[in-house]
Structure 1
């Protein structure tokens, strides 16, 4: 979990740093990220811990003592298998109830965090346009980030309020208690403004009045709307399949299935209006077969009429094509959504089953390699988990895209690794030296010797 959490931080560090988030916002985001990482961390931890446990037992010759007491490896593994099954049942309920809520909280908060603009509203030596009605320049900022030096503030004209420029030697900025405004307090400065004079009917273009006054202190309140951290309604994200539990997915699939059926039944009446029907001649008494009948209208009329026939036919063909294209795209979208929902429904079960399948690999692998600790077990567990994760990702993506059935795509990783686990369990139960390189060397030497004898 720690490694996956560090991966999350490195991935989104640029979206979180320098935006003025409170510490509890970062902590909440990391909590939800940890909950979503359970689907990856739990199977890997089961695999690694089982290899380390039984590898340590083999390294300390405790498995030899167990077998010498007449206890088989299968019986020695059975208690831990019961523990893993209990853990898998808990993982199933977590995947169905807690994981969708964690995904909803995580992605909604992460979306708002990534949309948040930088908290560095007033960088040094730059004319900042972060606020719509103001342009502000700060020559220098102290380390606290609030004390300012050499401030120039230009306020644009709004309605009847004229524009003005304020220059101050120093100042301070801070947020209001409700986090809605940025308050800038200026000290020892000058304000410049120009306002139109009260002209007369004889002077339609009066002169501007220039005003300058000095101040010891002044305060400007800048609206942080669009700049302060705001939360989006979580209901906008609830339509994604990872945010649904099994009941919601079943309801969605039932509703989508009805929509597909109703769309299919509505296609024929819409197209039927463009189809022209002709009456076929009745069977003649003088012939044993139907008379040859020409349905085409091209046999009648002059060239102008035939051209009109072709133009009308092409127009109707285009109308049918456009109509069916729109409805076909809608039908494809419904079918794709149904497949994705079905694949996500199957994924609810794969987390718990993958824990059992990876335990069947880890326990016998630890008994075979007879190495504990964080050395070789980590290498082997990472290799097997990478194979499992790559196959799982490819299968689920293919299931969502429709190139593979949802059932097979969701379960293909389990189908691939389960025979490997059963094979390793058989080898461990029969005390097979699976990783003894001397055995493989002798095997290939025997094959080479037989090949040389056959040539001789």
Structure 2
């Protein structure tokens, strides 16, 4: 049995590693395709890009690992079924459960490792990825000039070039807007030709212009945009200027600014943050209810005269609202109704506005609850997908990357759609977080149980001939033929 277990483990570990890296590569390419505009043209060093891709790869493990387990299990048992190795094992009296036993132990260990990864490593990777992505977005891009198009890559300048000689680097028909004073288009330079050369340290841009004019609006305080202001024109044959560049070094921001986000916390921190949010929400509800009640429903007397009137009314026991209202004159009745309607509208607007604020707080709190459940859904998904893939491979008996890939992607898409939809419902407060985060697992779990049972009993689930024979039996034409006979 030790040799058999070693053979099964070797047959599974190879496809698992192969499919895991394939899934990671596909998901990473999808991520790069989404954020390619943020990375290109920023002058980033390869070490920064490698660091960023490493952190991104760590955040993609929850999607890649379950799919890799599903693919590897289908391929492993599909290959053994196609090569009649499963048949030989069953003929020797070894059941499918005993064949799967070493892999079940391995999947349990992988699930425990996935839980540890999701609880301790994923928050750090998410924090690093988020911080680095924000820093990259803030990084000023390299200056890339295109003919006939305004370029705003140069800080505080807007440049348009009519034509560029690629051999000499000379530019023609330049139009430059200087926005360093933040006063709009008050400083414009027009030149017939010119060059732009970056210094070796990439901190200064040496601008040389030939045969042009500088149009400047004279500064006046206060400046009225609706009136004309004096301006001056400076004509030049050669104009040189050094413009400071921000440099290509990436400026790192403080990670503590984002460490309290729900994706950057482990289970213990999520519990603490969720308790804090619940306490704050309950406190806001209590304060609002108290202020609303004292402001609109229990209005206190404003002076001593009202106190005396109230005491007299209490003694005479005529505090009935209907009787008080009926004793008023018509004009006072109309005034009272108008006043009550105005107070009612204001109360409704106040309640509606506060309800939106409280709903936003609840939605933010719900994200922490969903993230808490996500720590457990990843290892459970690995466990479920194995019990779908292993019996499915034993049933279809097809190895390689053909049928297993199609079946795996189909099951994973169904699982992913259910997961994303249910999680969205949970975020929008339609369903509870437990159902939202575990809905996909609860839907797929019975499928794994059924497939395991079918594979254990050697049921031909995917035998098309059985379904064709079944439909032939229920064909109405065959029934009429039997009656005629």
Which TM-score applies when normalising by structure 2? 0.76
Q: Which residue of 1 aligns with 2:438?
A: 411
1:5 and 2:28 correspond: yes
Q: Which residue of 1 aligns with 2:383?
A: 356
3-state SS in 2 of match to 1:183: strand
- Structure 2 counterparts to residues 47-446 of structure 1, below 5 A: 47-114=70-137, 116=139, 118-126=141-149, 128=151, 130-132=154-156, 135=159, 137=161, 139-140=163-164, 142=166, 147-150=169-172, 152=174, 171-174=195-198, 177=201, 181-184=203-206, 186=208, 220-224=242-246, 230-273=251-294, 274-276=296-298, 295-446=322-473
TM superposition shift of 1:409 = 1.0
Which structure carries more helix by proportion?
2
Q: CA distance change for structure 1 residues 266 and 441 in 2, over 3 Å: closer, same or farther?
A: same
Q: Please give the alpha-carbon distance, in whole angstroms, between the structure 1 residues aligned to 2:93 and 2:215.
A: 101
3-state SS in 2 of match to 1:297: helix
Q: Which residue of 2 aligns with 1:200?
A: none
| Number of residue-to-residue matches in the alignment | 427
Q: Determine if contact 1:147/1:173 at 8 Å carries over to the other structure.
A: no
Q: Which moved more, 1:34-43 or 1:326-335?
A: 326-335
Q: Please give the alpha-carbon distance, in whole angstroms, between the structure 2 residues aligned to 1:294 and 1:7.
A: 69
Q: Please give the alpha-carbon distance, in whole angstroms, between the structure 2 residues aligned to 1:149 and 1:46.
A: 57
Q: Determine if contact 1:176/1:183 at 8 Å carries over to the other structure.
A: no
Q: Determine if contact 1:125/1:140 at 8 Å carries over to the other structure.
A: no
| Deviation by residue 1:240-278 (Cα, 9 ceiling, x = unmatched) | 322222122111110122123223332442133222599
Q: CA distance change for structure 1 residues 134 and 340 in 2, over 3 Å: closer, same or farther?
A: closer
Which TM-score applies when normalising by structure 1? 0.81
| Deviation by residue 1:47-104 (Cα, 9 ceiling, x = unmatched) | 0000000111111111111112211110100101111110111111111111122222
Q: Determine if contact 1:57/1:370 at 8 Å carries over to the other structure.
A: yes
Structure 1 vs Structure 2 CA RMSD: 3.7
